[in-house]
Amino acid sequence: MENRWSDRRELCLVVDLFHHNGQRLPCQSRNIGLGGTFLCIDSTAGLNMNANVKLVFYLMEGPEKTSHALDARIVRISTRGVGLKFREFETGVFRTLNKVMTCKESYIVH
């Protein structure tokens, strides 16, 4: 059953996932929407359902690499990665998501 409240764009971005103990897990997004994202990750060990995490996306803006942080909650764990729902949706988060979702290939950090 589909539980998403917004469309998602297939998009492969470099993402760092920070969980409760501050550990950084490097990931890549598979898709992203205004409500959440699915991250491909080598190992989901230590990640728990409903845990709050922080995501940091990286984009190229001109000659500079910029980072964009979002708070999220783990809503799905699979052998391929984790599904996340964005939390505390405010204006700054909306701007960040719009920037990420509308970025051109040249802005993506691989």
DSSP character at residue 105: G
CATH class of 9-107: mainly beta
| Bigger pLDDT: 42 vs 110 | 42
pLDDT > 90? residue 22? no
Domains in the chain: boundaries = 9-107
* Nearest alpha carbon to residue 65 among 9, 13, 6: 13
Check if the beta carbon of residue 50 is closer than 8 Å to that of residue 75. Answer: yes
Q: What is the pLDDT of residues 45-94, one digit of tens each?
A: 889 999 999 999 887 777 888 888 889 999 999 999 999 998 876 676 67
Under the banding of pLDDT at 50, 70 and 90, the label for residue 106 is very low
- Please state, in angstroms and as integers, the Cα–Cα distance from residue 79 to each residue in 47, 48, 63, 75, 105, following that order: 12, 13, 36, 14, 28
